[in-house]
Amino acid sequence: MNGQLSSPPTSRPGSEPWDVIVIGGGTAGLSAALILARARRRVLVLDAQEPRNRFAPRMHGVLSRDGYSPLQLVADGYREVRDADGVIEHARVIETRAVAEGFEVVTDLGTRMTARRLVVATGARDELPDIPGLAEQWGRGVVACPYCDGYEARGRAIGVLAASVMGLHKAHMLRPYSNDVTVFTALAGDIPAAERHVLEARGIRLEHRAVVRLVTEGDTLTGLELADGTVAPLDVVFAEPTPVPLDAPLRQLGAARTETPFGPWATVDATGKTSVDGVWAVGNTGNPAALVPIAAGSGATAALAINGEIIAEEVAAASARVVEAGAA
């Protein structure tokens, strides 16, 4: 797919309210849309085409799709949602608000539409340390998740670019993959002696000199240059980016947030429902640590809850008609 999502012709939304609008067309959003479309709900997906993992050429740890392109997974999801009569539009949502019909959504194309329920699957972005060359290697020589990329780093020279004391745990996660693990601590500040001793006891080296740039040969990462000009040779670097929620649709609706180790994040229940009745947050929008399989599951979980609510409303309306007819 050459790093781009395809853009086939899409149906234009009509004036009738949708049952559900899904904001975001990544793994979580498409999973929710697929379940709801197959449940015969009128579903619209509005996708800005910026999945968090778009920088990675391959996914790992995804059952039956290990090594698969994340953009190809999205393309497959598009096809499946459309095959079930779901509608997908390429548009960025710029405004959400509560209205009598449920919720109104406004896109950057100037389109306004309403829905009975909203699923927000806008995800998050990763804010990288400001080190020259780091962004250019993001998703290839520089990665973040040991569960996603640790196995591919087995037996190699691994660098851990820790940005906090909490981030040192990543080095412990990576130790089973290699005997050659070095933690670069300058961004994290002072490391407690107890933490240093445990790392060293596990055979993990600590490097306290500041990292000034990434060193590459062509497109391949070969090391990190330190403040004194020394180059630490490495095959892969595990960084500690700061996840930033792309939660503007939730904030516009006044959804509650909870303090997490990653900062303030949307408050959700076990189904992904937010504090705003009728609104769900799935994938990284509701869980900054959600890997692809977790994101897919969260979308499906939310879809089941949403369809259950709509069915309950339909049953209640039918019951009211029966009572009214009996009274007449």
pLDDT of residue 15: 64
Is the pLDDT assigned to residue 78 strictly greater than 90? yes
pLDDT of residue 11: 36
Beta strands in 15-173 (DSSP E): 18-23, 43-47, 87-90, 93-99, 102-107, 112-120, 124-127, 142-143, 158-161
φ and ψ of 115, to 5 deg: -150, 155
Is the pLDDT assigned to residue 309 strictly greater than 90? yes
Could you read off the pLDDT of 15-32 as tens digits, one per residue?
A: 689 999 999 999 999 999
Q: What average pLDDT does the structure give for the chain?
A: 93
pLDDT of residue 324: 85
Could you read off the pLDDT of 91-134 as tens digits, one per residue?
A: 999 999 999 989 999 999 999 999 999 999 999 999 999 999 99
pLDDT of residue 8: 37
pTM: 0.91
**CA-to-CA distance for 15 and 22, rounded, in angstroms?**
17
With contact defined as beta carbons under 8 Å apart, do 24 and 47 qualify?
Answer: yes
9-18, 29-38, 95-104, 298-307: least confident range: 9-18
Q: Count of alpha carbons within 13 Å of 264, Cβ hemisphere only?
A: 8
pLDDT of residue 116: 97
**CA-to-CA distance for 5 and 25, rounded, in angstroms?**
11
Alpha-helical (H) ranges within the chain are 27-38, 70-83, 134-137, 146-149, 169-174, 193-201, 248-252, 292-327
52-61, 212-221, 251-260, 278-287: least confident range: 52-61
pLDDT band at 212 (very low <50, low <70, confident <90, very high): very high
Angle at the Cα of 314 from the Cα atoms of 311 and 317, rounded to 5 degrees: 150
pLDDT band at 2 (very low <50, low <70, confident <90, very high): very low
Sign of the CA dihedral with 161 first, then 164, 166, and 168 last? positive
Could you read off the pLDDT of 153-188 as tens digits, one per residue?
A: 999 999 999 999 999 999 999 999 999 999 999 999
Q: Supply 60's token pair.
A: 């790992």
Could you read off the pLDDT of 63-75 as tens digits, one per residue?
A: 999 999 999 999 9
- 121-139 burial string, b = 16+ CB within 10 Å, else e? bbbbebebbebebbeebbb
